[in-house]
Amino acid sequence: MAGERNYWQLLANGTFFRLATHISGVTTVLPYIATELGGDAILVALLVPLYTVGALLGMTLAPTVLRVTTAIAVLMVAIAGLLTVLTAVNATVVGLWCACDGSALELRLHSYPLLITSLLIGVVTGGSGVIYPMVMSTLLSPQRRSDLLLRQTGYGAALAVLVTASSIGYLSNLEPQEQDADLLWLGAAALTISTLCCLGLKSDSAEMMAGPARITDVLRQGYGYLRQNLWLRRYVIIHLVFLAVTLAPMFFAIYTASSLGPDNGDLERFLVFSGCGLLIGIPFWRLVRRRLGTRGMYACSAILTAATGILCIVSRQWQLLPTLWSFGLVLLLAAVANQGVFPASQDWIMSKVEEDAAAVVLSFSQILVSVGMIVVGFGLAIAAESGGAIWPLVMMTGLASLALLAVIWVPAVVRIPA
């Protein structure tokens, strides 16, 4: 009974969390807003790298946090509550940005705080990236865990489509800056509900495995595990190569805002497209996971990202569709492609790692990938700020094709019955 209740509470928590990420996330929505409002190119390019630096710190600290408390409800409430506060700060900053007179000094005063909040959101999110998989492993069976991940994404996307579509009529009467601030406030409200959903989580007699006492132990033990296990080395390399896939939504969001110019006011419409993409992804990724296994999920993610780049090139060159539809379909495909990577990675790593090493391996592997993400994220963001040039799209398509070639290293036998 407790396990079933935990499943539904985690589903509600994750659904509202995904809704908030969809309409106020640092890796996609915030760079779009900063670009749309005329922020400096360096500001836009630094948002995701600073978020990643924070995530890196959060991942490193997570095993230590688990030594302080392994109380699941406390950890989950703290994560969601802190993200609520930080998202509300972002909404306030964007609202103040509306009132500035457009001078360089005013833009810096109202836009640079976003860099600080991006860093702090990264710390919290990075820690949750280690803690949340362990929460799921403690409370749920492997099949229920994977089912939960896909349902959270899909239900969150459905809510996002409903919220953004229903708000178009209201938001369209506001200035673009006011639209952006209201979307962020909606994200803060969704995170508040997500926080409340964690209050009743019960672990019964099961407790999560605590991590090492010191950060240096995480690095030392993680490095030792990496040297001893070929599968973990391949896992890290694959995810470094797949950074173009995981960062594709950010890239195409910035590219879209840069191509359309400041104050285009189409953010909520594009969010409807990407939300529809996540809805389409639920049955699609379930089918791929059941029929093709983990390797198939990685391969399809890479293929879809390459197809997204090709579609954007064709749309820019020949203008076959209206602007809203061409960029909307691009963001839809990027969302679908990105959606399959995380469940596939969880199937892979949780099927290989021993329970007593889970905290260290999850932290260390994500730390290594995040170091690469800092560099790749900055480079992709700078490239996307090209004002609609074709060469960044060619580059993204090439990187996705490289990821597809690397899929041969993903084990084909990591399958969990549907």
* Exposure class string for 27-49: b at 16+ Cβ within 10 A, else e: bbbbbbbbbbbebebebbbbbbb
Q: State pLDDT tens for residues 269-324.
A: 888 898 889 889 888 988 998 888 889 999 999 999 999 999 999 988 888 888 88
When divided into structural domains, the chain yields a total of 1
Position 171 scores a pLDDT of 56
Average pLDDT, the chain: 84
Does the residue 185 lie in any domain? yes
Distances (CA, A) of 381 to 37, 44, 71, 229, 247: 16, 7, 38, 34, 9
Q: What is the mean pLDDT of residues 382-393?
A: 88
Q: Please give the residue range of the domain that contains residue 29.
A: 2-204+212-409
What residues contact residue 135 under an 8 Å CB cut-off, 6+ apart? 10, 72, 75, 76, 208
Taking the whole predicted model, whether its pTM rises above 0.85 is answered as no
Position 309 scores a pLDDT of 95
Does the residue 259 lie in any domain? yes
Q: Measuring CA to CA, which residue among 173, 160, 180 is closest to residue 267?
A: 180
**Single-letter residue type at 369:** V
Does the residue 6 lie in any domain? yes
Does the residue 240 lie in any domain? yes
Q: What is the mean pLDDT of residues 11-22?
A: 91
Does the residue 414 lie in any domain? no
Q: Measuring CA to CA, which residue among 332, 202, 307, 169 is closest to residue 256?
A: 332
Does the residue 418 lie in any domain? no
Say whether pLDDT at 213 is over 60.
Answer: no
Does the residue 61 lie in any domain? yes
Helices (H), 214-340: 215-228, 230-241, 243-246, 248-260, 267-318, 323-339
Say whether pLDDT at 98 is over 80.
Answer: no
Does the residue 416 lie in any domain? no
Looking at the chain, the whole-number percentage of residues with pLDDT higher than 70 is: 87
Q: Write the CATH number for 246.
A: 1.20.1250.20
